[in-house]
Amino acid sequence: MIKPVYSKGKLAAKTGNEVMAEAMRQIEPDVVAAYPITPATEIVQIFSQFVADGIVKSEYVAVESEHSAMSATIAASAAGARAMTGTSSQGLSLMWEMLYIAAGLRLPIVMAEVNRAISAPINIHGDQSDTMGARDSGWIQIYSENSQEAYDNLIQAVKIAEKAKLPALVTTDGFIISHCMEVVETYPDEDVKNFIGEYEPKRYLLDLKKPYTLGSIDLQDYYFEHRFQVAQAMRDSKKIVLEVAKDFEKTFGRRYDFYEKYKLDDAEIAIVAIGSTAGTTKVVVDSLRKNGIKAGLLKIRLFRPFPVEEIAKDLAHVKAIGIMDKADACSGAFAPLYSDVAASLYAAGATVPKLANYVYGLGGREISISHISGIFEDLVKIKDGNKTPPISPEYVNVRIKKTM
């Protein structure tokens, strides 16, 4: 029988969307502005019912588009409010302009984001094209393998964003996590509120005693310096992520890091993955280990800022690594996660392991145990010198050339 990790926690079967809405209820932000989009609609729909029923005192703003949702959230945050939103796919794309503005203005907005494919063609199912497209917009990005992580990550994101003075988004995989039910442990409202604390912005537009200008024109004289400050804040936020994770473990008993190492320490072959696919990969790793094959997994949790030095150190000993991307950059070269992992290893200055890039799951295409087993079989050949790593991504389970 499953037992709560936290002595005062409660177990219940919830979907990813339900548990993210529950976290938002416990956080009780001052303002939530949102526009519906599949498969994230349910998060803010449930939260709006909390508002309507008087369960939370938050101001819910129903807007006419996702661009407006982010604009309203930016305005609320700039005015000194704790502000949140939620979206997915084309909704995130419609926010593109405002994502950069939120980060550039150093506003600690938190977003519940459900990963979904980007059109065209039109598709409502889960891949990570949306957030990968926004990977360099100045938002901290935290990915979740399951609903429990989504709940825990959203709570931590509030504290991380407010300490770093940067916006943060927390993701789940569309439908696989957002709409599937699993047992999740939630914590008492009072304990969550004590953990995140009261929001006390150091400056805000409605502070009449300390007025300041926000969003003014910034040409050659200072634009460069201000963009540098955003980039430096992102680098500095790594320390904050670990500090908050330490506080979270001390309070609620669950440990989080930049990433999870699963049987990686002595691995000769390994996969790097993000999101729900990591769970399936663990099953394959366990099976391979029983057969004497030293397989492992590195599951990315924190994608932005990317933990360059740490990943390079923990992967340096692995002989062959498969980096799995649930998005394709269409750059003619490699996909986003591969590019970051490869650059990290190269920058470390050590001997770079043999690397292979695998693009999978676009538009919600199934990725099964047999597919992941096939990737590990590939890595064994690469490790032993019986196969040369491809110079472009291999596409897994696609019905054209390069099918695995």
Question: How does residue 401 score in pLDDT terms, banded at 50, 70 and 90?
Answer: low
**pLDDT for residue 350 is more than 80:** no
Task: Tell me if residue 296 falls in helix, strand or coil.
Answer: strand
Which residue from 144, 154, 152, 155 is spatially nearest to 178, judged by alpha carbons? 144
CA dihedral 138, 139, 144, 149 (to 10 degrees): 140
Amino acid at 36: P
> Which DSSP state fits 8?
T
CA 9, CA 303: separation in Å to the nearest integer? Answer: 28
Percent of the chain with pLDDT over 70: 99
Question: What is the structure's pLDDT at 325?
Answer: 98
**pLDDT for residue 59 is more than 60:** yes
| Strand residue runs (E) in 174-288 | 181-186, 259-262, 269-274
**pLDDT for residue 356 is more than 70:** yes
Q: CB-based contacts of 220: which residues, under 8 Å, 6+ apart?
A: none
Question: What is the structure's pLDDT at 249?
Answer: 98
Question: How does residue 184 score in pLDDT terms, banded at 50, 70 and 90?
Answer: very high
Question: What is the structure's pLDDT at 330?
Answer: 84
Q: In the chain, what is the greatest distance between 2 CA atoms, to the nearest angstrom?
A: 70
Instruction: Report the pLDDT averaged over residues 129-137.
Output: 97
What is the separation, in whole angstroms, between the first and last Cα of the chain? Answer: 38
Question: What is the structure's pLDDT at 349?
Answer: 83
Q: Render pLDDT for 263-275 as a digit per residue (tens, 0 to 9).
A: 999 999 999 999 9
Contact in structure between 89 and 121 (CB atoms under 8 Å): no
Strand 59-62 with 269-274, pairing: unpaired
Task: Tell me if residue 94 falls in helix, strand or coil.
Answer: helix
What pTM was estimated for this model as a whole?
0.97
CA 356, CA 147: separation in Å to the nearest integer? Answer: 29
Contact in structure between 75 and 63 (CB atoms under 8 Å): no
Question: What is the structure's pLDDT at 64?
Answer: 97
Question: How does residue 168 score in pLDDT terms, banded at 50, 70 and 90?
Answer: very high
Q: Taking all residues of the chain, what is their mean pLDDT, rounded to a whole number?
A: 96
Question: What is the structure's pLDDT at 1?
Answer: 57
Question: What is the structure's pLDDT at 2?
Answer: 74
What stretches of 178-276 show up as alpha helix (H) in DSSP?
A: 189-196, 223-252
Cis status, amide bond into 305, omega within 30 of 0 = yes
Other CB atoms within 10 Å distance of the CB of residue 319: 17
**pLDDT for residue 402 is more than 70:** no
**pLDDT for residue 404 is more than 60:** no
Task: Tell me if residue 283 falls in helix, strand or coil.
Answer: helix
* Least confident among 127-131, 187-191, 204-208: 204-208
Instruction: Report the pLDDT averaged over residues 156-182.
Output: 98
Question: How does residue 333 score in pLDDT terms, banded at 50, 70 and 90?
Answer: confident
Tokens 């999870």 appear where? 260
> Which strand (E) or helix (H) includes residue 278?
helix 277-290
Q: Could you give the domains of the chain?
A: 10-252 (3.40.50.970), 259-395 (3.40.50.920)
Instruction: Report the pLDDT averaged over residues 288-302.
Output: 98
Percent of the chain with pLDDT over 90: 93
Q: In degrees rounded to 5, what are phi and psi of residue 231? A: -65, -40
